[in-house]
Amino acid sequence: MGQIIAVAQQKGGAGKTMIAAQFGAALAEQGRVALLDIDPQGSLTAWGRLREGAAKANPGLEVIAVSGWRLANELEKLKSSHDYVLVDTPPVIDSDARRAIRGADLVLVPMNPAPPDLWAAEGTLKLAAEERRPAALLFNRAPAASKLRKRLEAEIAARRLTLLPVALANRAGYANAFADGLGVTEAGATTQAAEEVRAAVQALRALLG
Ligand SMILES: Nc1ncnc2c1ncn2[C@@H]1O[C@H](COP(=O)(O)OP(=O)(O)OP(=O)(O)O)[C@@H](O)[C@H]1O
Ligand SMILES: [Mg+2]
């Protein structure tokens, strides 16, 4: 049985779609991965379509769009045929996002290391707690070291929330690879971004156990 990771955060533009794509491509280096797009914006689906013409795209990585009552069934089905299923959710907690969180082995909550993103994450963390699903925060577009990042880390630790020990920096490489329908690990195997994503995925796998 595979594991389901719901990428959720009410804050728009926190990096949900980018992280689903990047982590999906990196996890697909070692296993069978499906990406499920439940956001009506359809950005991940559009990325999936770009991949069809991209020579460097791993054809083993599936991108599927589903919504509504079929979602829970689809999750179960994908879980039995894949090692990892990542779900990209919309920036609102609607009934589909709830279904995705309910079915998840881990809820991954990307955030810029700044208070507004932590405030916006509260609703998602609360829902994960209500559904008794483990949640982990992930710093995205994070400066290597800043006073604010340290402050946020301290606050997260004091509240006994889980923070993925590897953060993603703000890198043009992420947006460039995404625009080509690729993950950074596919675009250039040895870039800093590729190393960073592989390290983050390793940390994620450790969390999943
Ligand atoms: N680490 C990063 N470095 C550089 N650019 C990034 C990074 N993460 C995300 N971006 C860019 O930020 C923008 C927002 O990211 P993304 O679309 O993944 O956010 P989202 O949370 O899915 O947004 P929405 O809530 O609208 O679904 C995109 O243009 C993406 O390319
Ligand atoms: Mg998105």
Summary mean pLDDT of the chain: 96
State both tokens at 166: 């590897």
Helix ranges (H only) for the chain are 16-27, 43-51, 70-81, 95-102, 115-130, 147-158, 172-179, 184-187, 192-208
Distance 41 CA to ligand 2 centre (A): 7
Q: What is the pLDDT of residue 189?
A: 82
Q: How far is CA 17 from CA 9, 145, 152, 165, 190, in A?
A: 11, 25, 23, 20, 22
pTM of the predicted structure, to 2 decimals: 0.97
In this structure, which residue's CA is closest to atom 13 in ligand 1?
13
Ligand nearest to the CA of 113: 1
State both tokens at 191: 């870039």
In this structure, which residue's CA is closest to atom 8 in ligand 1?
15
pLDDT band at 113 (very low <50, low <70, confident <90, very high): very high
Nearest-atom index, ligand 1, CA of 90: 27
Least confident residue range of 80-84, 94-98, 191-195, 200-204:
94-98
d(CA 11, CA 19): 14
Nearest-atom index, ligand 1, CA of 9: 21
In the block, tokens 């929330």 appear at 161
Q: Based on the number of CB atoms within 10 Å of its own CB, is 116 exposed (0-12), middle (13-18) or buried (19 or more)?
A: exposed
pLDDT in tens, 5-19: 999 999 999 999 999
pLDDT in tens, 114-171: 999 999 999 999 999 999 999 999 999 999 989 999 999 999 999 999 999 999 999 9
User: Does the 3-208 domain belong in CATH 3.40.50.300?
Assistant: yes
Q: What are phi and psi of 143, to 5 degrees?
A: -70, 145
> Which string of b and e fits 41-62 if b means at least 16 CB within 10 Å?
eebbbebbebbeebebbbeebb
Q: What is the pLDDT of residue 132?
A: 97
pLDDT in tens, 37-78: 999 999 999 999 999 999 999 999 999 999 888 999 999 999
Q: What is the pLDDT of residue 145?
A: 87
Distance 207 CA to ligand 1 centre (A): 23
